[in-house]
Amino acid sequence: MRTPIVIGNWKLNGSKAMAEALVAGILAERPGLSDIEMGVCPPFVFISQVVAQAAQAGMGVGGQSCAEHVTGAYTGEVSAEMLRDVGCRYVLVGHSERRTLFGETNAVVARKTRVVLDAGLIPVLCVGETLEERQAGNMNAVVGGQIEAVVDAVGIQAFDRTIVAYEPVWAIGTGQTASPEQAQAMHASIRAQLAAHSPAIAQAVRIQYGGSIKPDNAAILFAQPDIDGGLIGGASLNAEDFLVICRAAAGSLRLS
């Protein structure tokens, strides 16, 4: 049995006051959602405040990215070790916005996964294809290549503490969602790929879906056998919407 995990990725949104109100709203319902794992990834500058508010209440906090370096002359960067120091549990690596807007290659993503693991944190490895890649029928090869680059770098054993997030690029922030069948097919393909390295790790690894998850589509996505929760963008900025999605993840446990 894999514990569903729902993480909010706030992206470049928020303020001190907004973060405090949003987290308070989420935590008010946390006791009723103890069957699932929950987390939020605020912008770096709000992480300490959110950790102070959320850690004791059983909600994890993560960074949205980190440096591929451990320390040194890299102006503007934040290391995985710093994120651990301020109380993070997760770091997103390879989010498609990092890949497309900031030029992160599979090799960079693999190095970031390594430093996150070395810092004792949990990488949330984001993978996904563009619309062109899907239309050309290349989605499995693209996502497979993104996964394999990281397996090559960190070894399959590291996936016992890694979360995978499948986020089709064409579904992020567009209001367009992968159908439950499309999402399930890709999740099964990712799990099969990991199973070729280690059946036990593949069975245990959690694979989140991300890309326009909303209160009205979360339950059907989470009901798929290989979907173990979600990575939520826009809908994670509203406490009630995020909570409806978390309740859907908790509800999926009762179906399984």
Residues serving a catalytic function are 95, 167
Q: Applying CB under 6 A, does 231 fall inside the site for ligand 13P?
A: yes
Give the sign of the dihedral formed by CA 187, CA 13, CA 41, CA 119.
positive
Q: Cα angle vertex 142, ends 139, 147, to 5°?
A: 120
Residues 227-243 as b/e (b if ≥16 CB within 10 A, e otherwise) read bbbbbbbbbbbebebbb
Residue 120 touching ligand 13P (CB under 6 A): no
* CA dist., res. 96 & res. 128, Å (int): 7
Residue 8 phi/psi, 5° resolution? Answer: -95, 125
Residue closer to ligand 13P, measured from CB, 1 or 12: 12
Q: Specify the stretch interacting with ligand 13P by CB under 6 A; choose among 32-40, 137-145, 196-204, 227-235.
A: 227-235
Check if the beta carbon of residue 172 is closer than 8 Å to that of residue 123. Answer: no
Window 50 to 109, contacts with ligand 13P (CB under 6 A): 95
Q: Say whether residue 210 binds ligand 13P (CB under 6 A).
A: yes
**Ordered alpha helix ranges (H), 11-138:** 16-27, 47-54, 80-85, 96-101, 106-118, 131-135
Torsion-angle region of residue 120: left (phi > 0), alpha (psi -120 to 50) or beta?
Answer: left
Stretch that binds ligand 13P, among 32-40, 72-80, 232-240, 241-249 (CB under 6 A): 232-240
CB 221 within 8 A of CB 179: no
Interface characters, 162-201, with ligand 13P (x: CB under 6 A): -----x----xx----------------------------
Q: Which lies closer to ligand 13P via its Cβ, residue 79 or residue 212?
A: 212
**Of the residues 4, 5, 6, 9, which one makes contact with ligand 13P according to CB under 6 A:** 9
Tell whether residue 4 is a contact of ligand 13P (CB under 6 A): no
Asked if residue 205 binds ligand 13P (CB under 6 A), the reply is no
Which spans of this chain sit near ligand 13P (rule: CB under 6 A)? Answer: 9, 95, 167, 172-173, 210-213, 231-235
